[in-house]
Amino acid sequence: MAFRRRAKSYPLFSQEFLIHNHADIGFCLVLCVLIALMFEATAKTAFLFILPQYNITVPTADGELVHYRYGLKDLITILFYVFIAIILHMVLQDYVLDKINRRLHLSKVKHSKFNESGQLVAFHLTSMIWCLYVVVTEGYLSNPRSWWENYPHVFLPFQVKFFYLCQLAYWLHALPELYFQKVRKEEIPRHLRYISFYLMHIAGAYLLNLTRLGLILLLLQYFAEFLFHMARLFYFTDENNEKLFNAWAVVFVVTRLFTLTLSVLVIGFGLDRVENQEFNIEKGNFSTLSSRMFVLSLVCLFQAWLMWHFIRFQLRRWREYRNEQSARQRAAALTKQQSKPVKRESGYHENGVVKAENGTSPRTKKLKSP
């Protein structure tokens, strides 16, 4: 499989070579791992990259269940799926977004934002459907008490652990993509904040054994983000289409309220009822008062930061709308003023002097002296 963009050849491992061939390099590495599965001597090592590790068999009344814990070997699996994410990123870019961009003829700035929103719409939609499937099949939606009961949730089902590993891999792949996509320097801090916040929250829920609450909050967050980037895509195709932005604004505020409410419910009240309140890293128990307050304060601060930026965004949109309306009103008033007929004296003008119909200048009336 080779991606397009083969117009030029570059020196091996140069900056241009890495930028234009990073997806092909990732594809070759993934292919090597898949080939290693075919041989008995290398299959065990290949499984470290592909499948989650630290599996534990738990006997139940119906048979045996396989659960998983987290560990350092997860970094190997995450690295493998980082290359998978890079490949999928380039496939979507080359075969979908670039074709749409050619038809829209967007400016350079809008072209970059369109690509960003197009990538994130695909990711958020896929993750939202996947996350919804996990929380429904595992019974987390039907039984909210399971979000904090039997904490710590050290043993994870396969699909829960695999979901978290893929999420971490995607947001880690976004870091080198800033270099590969040649993002402008002034845009890099915004992207780094965006990526680091997701990595911090996903990794925090995974390492602190708050995976069930993390799934619910990710589902809400991804739905709000999906609406926002869909609104941006529609706006780039038609600048008068801003209805989705209004829908996103409502969903964004509701998401912040639900996130705060659920976080306080689970971390503040639910985990407070857990019998074992001792801090124990080996058992994965972090349910102490200080750690709960620390996590809860981070969540609240982040939600407040998001609301602050949301209010600034809405105020900027409102100012732009008011300025646009005032400019339209001034233009309409000027057009109306220019369209009024100008009253002219009878006759016609010649060299700045009004002539009568017969060609002679009109006589001026003599004023009577008092």
215 confidence band (pLDDT: 50, 70, 90)? very high
369 confidence band (pLDDT: 50, 70, 90)? very low
Helix (H, G, I), strand (E, B), or coil: what is residue 3? coil
Nearest alpha-carbon partner for 116 in 49, 46, 205, 182? 182
Are 76 and 49 spatial neighbours (Cβ–Cβ below 8 Å)?
yes
Nearest alpha-carbon partner for 167 in 209, 115, 211? 211
Of the listed ranges 55-64, 162-171, 232-241, 360-369, the one predicted with least confidence: 360-369
Asked whether residue 342 is domain-assigned, the answer is no
Q: Which residue has the tokens 């270099």?
A: 179
Contacts of 121 (CB under 8 A, 6+ apart): 226, 229, 230, 233
User: Given this model, what pLDDT does residue 94 score?
Assistant: 87
Give pLDDT tens digits for 18-57.
Answer: 555 677 778 888 889 989 988 988 999 999 999 999 998 8
User: Given this model, what pLDDT does residue 370 score?
Assistant: 43
What mean pLDDT comes out for the span 220-238? 92
Of the listed ranges 71-85, 259-273, 315-329, 333-347, the one predicted with least confidence: 333-347
What mean pLDDT comes out for the span 214-235? 94
Number of domains in the chain: 1
Residue 367 confidence (pLDDT) above 60: no
Residue 362 confidence (pLDDT) above 70: no
Asked whether residue 12 is domain-assigned, the answer is no
Mean predicted lDDT score pLDDT of the chain: 84
User: Given this model, what pLDDT does residue 10 score?
Assistant: 56
User: Given this model, what pLDDT does residue 351 score?
Assistant: 54
User: Given this model, what pLDDT does residue 25 score?
Assistant: 78
Q: Which residue has the tokens 């080779």?
A: 2
Instruction: Give the range of the structural domain holding residue 88, as residue numbers without chain letter.
Output: 51-326
User: Given this model, what pLDDT does residue 345 score?
Assistant: 52
**Alpha carbon distance 203, 335 (integer Å):** 60
Are 37 and 46 spatial neighbours (Cβ–Cβ below 8 Å)?
yes
Give pLDDT tens digits for 10-20.
Answer: 555 555 555 55
What mean pLDDT comes out for the span 271-280? 84
120 confidence band (pLDDT: 50, 70, 90)? very high
Residue 344 confidence (pLDDT) above 70: no
Asked whether residue 260 is domain-assigned, the answer is yes
Nearest alpha-carbon partner for 227 in 204, 244, 207, 205? 244
Of the listed ranges 68-72, 154-158, 240-244, 281-285, the one predicted with least confidence: 240-244
Asked whether residue 179 is domain-assigned, the answer is yes
357 confidence band (pLDDT: 50, 70, 90)? low
Neighbours of 167 (CB within 10 A): 26
What mean pLDDT comes out for the span 280-289? 87
Residues in the chain, total: 370
Start-to-end CA distance of the chain, whole Å, equals: 106
Asked whether residue 366 is domain-assigned, the answer is no
**Alpha carbon distance 312, 316 (integer Å):** 6
Asked whether residue 35 is domain-assigned, the answer is no
Residue 337 confidence (pLDDT) above 80: no
Asked whether residue 71 is domain-assigned, the answer is yes
